């Protein structure tokens, strides 16, 4: 393969998204090549021995490394300003590996309460099985962070904005407290996307993504990423990932590489459409509470403005009623699809209490602000007028 273009780190973000990490084969293809192969062959047995010893730098097996996956990883690392990116099969593989690769029995983990259901399951149900002590805090309350991090801690894990109530956590403040407690700080940056928020600049040590969301953003594939520095990766993740096998498929990596090329354009348009839909929802009488960090009424609006470039493509709201009314509303939509995914070109709507957070115990779910009248919408790239009309006719059905 050809060498990478030089000085990629100096490129501006849009250039990194389009060209970062690309290496061409001898055919000089324009588009990144798809190496749909599980393994690689050797000229002689001794070569394989050297490769497994780590004395020959070459591709061995696609669970360890693959040229298309490597292009995705390099592009992501360049974009985030990280030394290393590990592509993973899903966002949850990234979250699980980021925690399990580092934590040991007896370690302490502190997490914010407002987490995606599966993240919460991994942190609060799986980790304790392996002897990890887990404490949950209200992520927006710095007093609770101070108290929880007044003791030695190994890891801190947050989402900001959170799924689905769009809580904003002060990343810099929590990073400082985490570091004082001796902890490594992981930020799940899915809702913000790499375009709208840079957790490393705010003190994060590890950033994780579900690439399934805006990075693919076209409903085609699952994927994930873990980003961190080279030393931390070498000590905690490289061997762990190679041997436990949450590898990203080359085909999915190829889709994600192409997804990155249009990420900025798509995210900007998602944000613009979301603002228009939010303006409409603000006037809708059946909406009793509206969650969107771009609204001055959002409790962490000033913080969102300070640490994000824009406010994202998700809007969450409560309606007058309960599960029956929420379901009637969802079932009345004619354009927006009922789906638990998000960050897609197509607008998608979900009822978190019965889907993404169904397995969270009821009292805790209510403490997270996820009642049966809560609805989450991921705003897509359709004409916002069509989206508003669809929502309006569904509100009429209530």
Which lies closer to ligand PLP via its Cβ, residue 352 or residue 394? 352
- Tokens 């006719």 appear where? 393
Q: How far is the CB of 17 from ligand PLP (least distance, A)?
A: 20
Which tokens belong to 47? 């070569």
Give yes or no for residue 188 binding ligand PLP (CB under 6 A). Answer: yes
Task: Using the rule CB under 6 A, give the single segment among 46-54, 84-92, 130-138, 194-202 that binds ligand PLP.
Answer: 84-92
Nearest to 195 by CA among 347, 69, 313: 313
C-alpha to C-alpha distances, 197 to 58, 200, 218, 237, 304, nearest whole angstrom? 35, 9, 21, 24, 10
Q: Largest alpha-carbon pair distance within the chain?
A: 73
Query: Contact, 310 vs 192, CB < 8 A?
Result: no
The least CB distance from residue 161 to ligand PLP, in Å, is 9
- Position 32 contacts ligand PLP (CB under 6 A): no
222 binds ligand PLP, rule: CB under 6 A: yes
Long-range contacts of 36-43 (CB under 8 A, 24+ apart): 36/68, 36/250, 36/251, 37/62, 37/66, 37/250, 38/62
159 forms part of the interface with ligand PLP (CB under 6 A): yes
CB of 339 to ligand PLP, least distance (A): 11
CA 140/CA 160 separation, integer angstroms: 10
Nearer to ligand PLP, 66 or 88 (CB): 88
Please say which residue, 312 or 384, places its beta carbon nearer to ligand PLP: 312
- The residue from 112, 160, 163, 274 that contacts ligand PLP (CB under 6 A) is 163
Could you tell me which residues are beta bridge partners of residue 110? 135, 156
- For residue 6, the minimal CB distance to ligand PLP (Å) is 33
Tell which phi-psi region holds residue 207, choosing left (phi > 0), alpha (psi between -120 and 50) or beta.
beta
Encoded tokens for 59:
């591709």
| Cβ–Cβ < 8 Å for 159, 190 | yes
CB of 178 to ligand PLP, least distance (A): 19
Residue with tokens 């590996």: 97
**How many of the other CB atoms lie within 10 Å of CB of 43?**
7
Site membership for ligand PLP, residue 90 (CB under 6 A): yes
Select 51 or 352, whichever has its Cβ closest to ligand PLP: 352
Nearer to ligand PLP, 75 or 181 (CB): 75
| Residue with Cβ nearer ligand PLP (190 or 303) | 190
Rule CB under 6 A: choose which of 210, 236, 273, 347 binds ligand PLP: 210
Tokens of 51: 């490769």
Contact flag: residue 91 with ligand PLP (CB under 6 A)? yes
Residues 104-133 that bind ligand PLP (CB under 6 A): 116, 118-119
| Number of residues lying near ligand PLP (CB under 6 A) | 15
**Site residues (vs ligand PLP, CB under 6 A):** 90-92, 95, 116, 118-119, 159, 163, 188, 190, 210, 212, 222, 224
């Amino acid at each position: 393969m050809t060498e990478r273009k030089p000085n990629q780190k100096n490129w501006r973000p849009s250039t990194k998204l389009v060209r970062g990490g690309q290496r061409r084969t001898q055919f000089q293809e324009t588009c990144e090549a798809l190496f749909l192969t599980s393994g690689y062959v050797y000229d002689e047995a001794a070569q394989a021995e050297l490769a497994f010893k780590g004395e020959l730098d070459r591709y061995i097996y696609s669970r360890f490394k693959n040229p298309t996956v490597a292009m995705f990883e390099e592009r992501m690392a360049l974009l985030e300003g990280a030394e290393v990116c590990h592509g993973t099969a899903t966002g949850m593989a990234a979250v699980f590996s980021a925690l399990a690769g580092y934590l040991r029995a007896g370690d302490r983990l502190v997490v914010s309460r407002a987490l995606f259901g599966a993240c919460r399951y991994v942190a609060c149900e799986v980790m304790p099985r392996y002897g990890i002590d887990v404490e949950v805090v209200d992520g927006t309350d710095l007093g609770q962070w101070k108290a929880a991090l007044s003791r030695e801690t190994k890891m801190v894990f947050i989402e900001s904005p959170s799924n689905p109530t769009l809580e904003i956590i002060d990343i810099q403040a929590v990073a400082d407290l985490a570091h004082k407690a001796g902890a490594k700080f992981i930020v799940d940056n899915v809702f913000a996307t790499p375009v709208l928020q840079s957790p490393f600049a705010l003190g994060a040590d590890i950033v994780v993504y579900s690439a399934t969301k805006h990075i693919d953003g076209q409903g085609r594939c699952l994927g994930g990423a873990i980003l961190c520095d080279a030393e931390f990766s070498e000590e905690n993740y490289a061997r762990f990932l190679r041997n436990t096998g949450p590898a990203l498929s080359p085909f999915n990596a190829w889709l994600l590489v192409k997804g990155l090329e249009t990420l900025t354009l798509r995210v900007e348009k998602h944000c613009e459409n979301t603002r228009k839909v939010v303006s409409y929802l603000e006037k809708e009488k059946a909406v009793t509470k509206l969650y969107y960090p771009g609204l001055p009424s959002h409790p962490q609006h000033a913080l969102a403005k300070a640490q994000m470039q824009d406010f994202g493509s998700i809007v969450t709201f409560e309606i007058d009623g309960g599960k029956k009314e929420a379901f009637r509303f969802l079932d009345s939509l004619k354009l927006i699809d009922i789906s638990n995914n998000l960050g897609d070109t197509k607008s998608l709507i979900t009822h978190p209490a019965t889907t993404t957070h169904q397995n969270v115990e009821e009292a805790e779910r209510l403490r997270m602000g996820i009642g049966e009248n809560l609805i989450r919408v991921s705003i897509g790239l359709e004409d916002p007028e069509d989206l508003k009309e669809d929502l309006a006719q569904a509100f009429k059905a209530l």
